[in-house]
Every structure is written in C-alpha cells, then in structure tokens.
C-alpha cells in the first residue's frame, strides 16, 4: 500500500476509536518483524526510530531500507522520528523520507517549547510531513536503560496548556504525560484518566502516549477509548528479543548459528507486535 503521511493514519484512528502502534526499531530485523506482524493483522503501522538509539542505529544508512520496506508493504506504513531533538535532526529525517517527526522540546520553558515546535511544524508542513509535539514529561529512560529512575516523577500535562500549545504550534498530534513511564517498571503505573479526558475534551488533534509497555489490556482499552491514537512501544519488544535469544542459548548451548538466533528474535518481535495490534483495536483497519 505504501509509505503514508502519519497524520492521515491517526485521524482515521481517532474517528474510529483505535490506536496505531508506533514500534521503535533498532535494526532491519525489527523493522521486518514489525511489518510482518502488521501485515498478518491487516493493520496500519508506524515504524519509529528513536534519537536515543542513534549511537547504535545509523539513521542515514537504515532509512533507505525502511522507506523501501514501507513502499512495498501491502498495508499503510508511516516512518517516524521519535524524540527528535531539534530542527536540524527534523530536516535530516525529512530528507531521508520520514513522514512523521516528533520534536521533543518539552524540557524547555513553555514559550520556548512552543517556539521551537512551531519552527519544525512550518518546515515539515511545507513538504507534507506530520509533526508530533510533546508537553509534560514522561519519566523513566528511553531505549535500553529502561529501568525507572528512583525518585524521578513525571510532570503531568496540564489540559489548558495542552490546548494553548496545540493551537499555537499547529502540531498534528500531541504526546501527553498522564502517568505512563518510559521502559518497564515493577507493577503498573497509575494513569490519570480524568486528566486525559480533560485534555481530549479541549483539543482536536490525536493524542499520543509514550511509555506504552507493561500495561494491562484494560488500561490500553481505557487509554484508547479516552482519545489515545498512537501508542509508542519499545521496552517490551526489546525484552521479547532478548528473551528469545536467551531461550535459544539455554536450549542449544552449543549453537553457533546466528541466523537461527535472529530468526527466533524476529518471530518473538512479530508475535509481540501482533498481540498489541489486536488489543489496541487496529487489526483489520488496513
């Protein structure tokens, strides 16, 4: 079907009340497994690469393959930059063929966050690329160091500020902090659904949740029914991949076959993707 604009995907999700998975990938095996899972479930999907992984992932060399995979997939695929840090990174991603850009300047004072986000929106919209802004702070660690930092608390998104931010910046979707954390934590985070509803009632753009791993089906259901249209997901994929390799080594301790280990990993990632697609309601929507 092809590489598509991320926002078209999310607007339909909002209308029809489901969430699209934005699965962070770290190599081609992950990308292929994510697409295979989405194809199997006939779901639209977002291939996401996180700036925090760029020490490990060479975006310039990987992106052409991701674009190709997306173009050849029989389902709609968006290619998204997760936690882009500045305008320069956003422009690089756009040149590489990305169809969605997150600009995360949520750590800056409110007015500076608006200014920097608006700059990215102006450039991205000129070439038909969607922009995700962020307001509030989802605690925990992005990427592999995904245990929660002790004593670190999230900064919840304020509903009035979210409305002002969305209007002032022109973002296509907004990442909000309502209690999830990046990475895997013990137990389930407590989500402030009242706050989420109040944000949803004030703004018209689709909402995004970061730290989408480790939640129960019931929590996902409530997030989706209260306006979440994009769920960022990585920590569980990473764990599934590592568990599959650990499992192979324990069953076949003498193995030297990297292709077998990678095949196991691919299958584990695909299964995890498929399970979430069904829970988030986007199976059959492609």
**Interface with Zn ion (CB under 5 A):** 210
Q: 182 labelled as ligand-binding?
A: yes
Q: Which of 82, 158, 172, 264 is catalytic?
A: 82
Q: Which residues of 41-71 are buried (b: 16+ CB within 10 A; e: fewer)?
A: bebbbbbbbbbbbeeebebeebbeebbebbe
Helix (H) or strand (E) segment spanning residue 96: helix 87-96
189: left (phi over 0), alpha (psi -120 to 50) or beta: beta
142 is in an annotated binding site: no
Q: Which is nearer to Zn ion, 210 or 285 (CB)?
A: 210
Dihedral of alpha carbons 95, 98, 103, 104, sign = negative
Nearer of residues 14 and 210 to Zn ion, judged by Cβ: 210
Active site residue 201: no
Half-sphere exposure of 38 (CA within 13 A, CB side): 28
85 burial class (0-12, 13-18, 19+ CB within 10 angstroms)? middle
**Nearest to Zn ion by Cβ — which residue?**
210
- The minimum distance between CB 4 and Zn ion, in angstroms, equals 22
* Least distance from Zn ion to the Cβ atom of residue 138, Å: 6
Query: What's the closest the beta carbon of residue 178 comes to Zn ion, in angstroms?
Result: 13
H or E segment to which residue 93 belongs = helix 87-96
Nearer to Zn ion, 231 or 273 (CB): 231
CA angle 206, 212, 217 (to 5 degrees): 95
CB of 3 to Zn ion, least distance (A): 22
Tell me whether residue 16 is annotated as binding. Answer: no
The continuous run of DSSP H or E covering 245 comes out as helix 235-251
Among 272, 276, 181, which Cα is nearest to 224's?
A: 276
Compute the least distance from the CB of residue 126 to Zn ion, in Å. 26
Return the residue matching tokens 């081609």.
28
Residue 34, Cβ neighbours under 10 Å: how many?
30
Residues forming a β-bridge with 49: 81
Residue whose CB is less far from Zn ion, 75 or 136: 136
- Is 252 annotated as ligand-binding? no
> 132: annotated binding-site residue?
no
- Identity of the residue, 49 or 244, whose beta carbon is nearer to Zn ion in the bound complex: 49
Catalytic residues: 82
Annotated binding site: 83, 104, 134, 182, 210
Annotated binding site for Zn(2+): 83, 104, 134, 182, 210
């Amino acid at each position: 079907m092809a590489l598509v604009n991320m926002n078209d995907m999310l607007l339909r999700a909002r209308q029809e009340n489901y969430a699209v998975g934005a699965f962070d990938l770290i190599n081609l095996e992950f990308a292929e497994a994510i697409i295979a899972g989405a194809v199997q479930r006939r779901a639209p999907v977002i291939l996401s690469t996180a700036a925090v992984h760029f020490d490990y992932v060479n975006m310039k060399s990987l992106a052409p393959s991701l674009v190709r995979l997306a173009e050849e997939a029989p389902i709609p695929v968006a290619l998204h930059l997760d936690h882009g840090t500045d305008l320069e990174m956003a422009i690089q991603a756009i040149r590489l063929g990305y169809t969605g850009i997150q600009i995360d300047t949520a750590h800056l004072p409110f007015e500076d966050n608006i200014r920097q986000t608006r700059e990215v929106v102006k450039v991205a919209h000129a070439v038909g690329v969607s922009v995700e802004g962020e307001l509030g702070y989802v605690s925990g660690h992005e990427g592999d160091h995904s245990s929660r930092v002790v004593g670190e608390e999230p900064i919840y998104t304020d509903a009035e500020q979210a409305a002002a931010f969305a209007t002032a910046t022109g973002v296509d979707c907004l990442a909000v902090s309502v209690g999830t954390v990046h990475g895997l934590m013990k137990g389930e985070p407590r989500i402030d659904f009242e706050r989420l509803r109040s944000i949803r009632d004030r703004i018209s753009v689709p909402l995004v949740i970061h730290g989408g791993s480790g939640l129960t089906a019931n929590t996902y259901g409530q997030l989706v029914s209260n306006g979440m249209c994009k769920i960022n997901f990585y920590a569980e994929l990473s764990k599934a991949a590592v568990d599959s390799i650990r499992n192979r080594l324990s069953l076949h301790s003498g193995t030297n076959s990297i292709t077998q280990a990678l095949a196991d990993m691919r299958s584990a990632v695909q299964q995890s993707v498929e399970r979430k697609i069904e829970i988030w309601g986007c199976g059959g929507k492609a």
